[in-house]
Amino acid sequence: RHHLQFVYTVLTKPDGFSGPVFSAVGLYDDRRISHYSNEEKTWKRDCSDAEIWRYTEEPRDSRDWFINQVNTLANCTSSRCD
């Protein structure tokens, strides 16, 4: 049995700076196998093990989805979210 997870990070910038900085890391059994960043704009594989990639894919559209979630949460207060 194996464990696959993706860790996402978004850093927001003050007004006047271009959009948020987004990065993600793919982990397979706690070993980094892929990464994504604003600069590269595509998933890069850090592991060439064919067995891992036989059943593993990078998330599709994860950047836009995750940034949308952060923006939604940024509009939340303790009593409601818009």
* Residue range 30-79, pLDDT digits in tens: 999 999 887 777 888 898 888 888 877 777 667 777 777 777 776 665 55
Give me 30's structure tokens. Answer: 């706690």
* Residue range 15-25, pLDDT digits in tens: 666 666 788 89
Look up the pTM and report it. Answer: 0.66
Judge contact between 70 and 62, C-beta under 8 A.
no
Number of domains within the chain: 1
Instruction: Specify the CATH number for the domain of residue 67.
Output: 3.10.320
Range 3-10 average pLDDT: 87
pLDDT exceeds cutoff 70 at 8: yes
Position 48 in a domain: yes
What is the pLDDT, as a whole number, of residue 58?
Answer: 73
Position 20 in a domain: yes
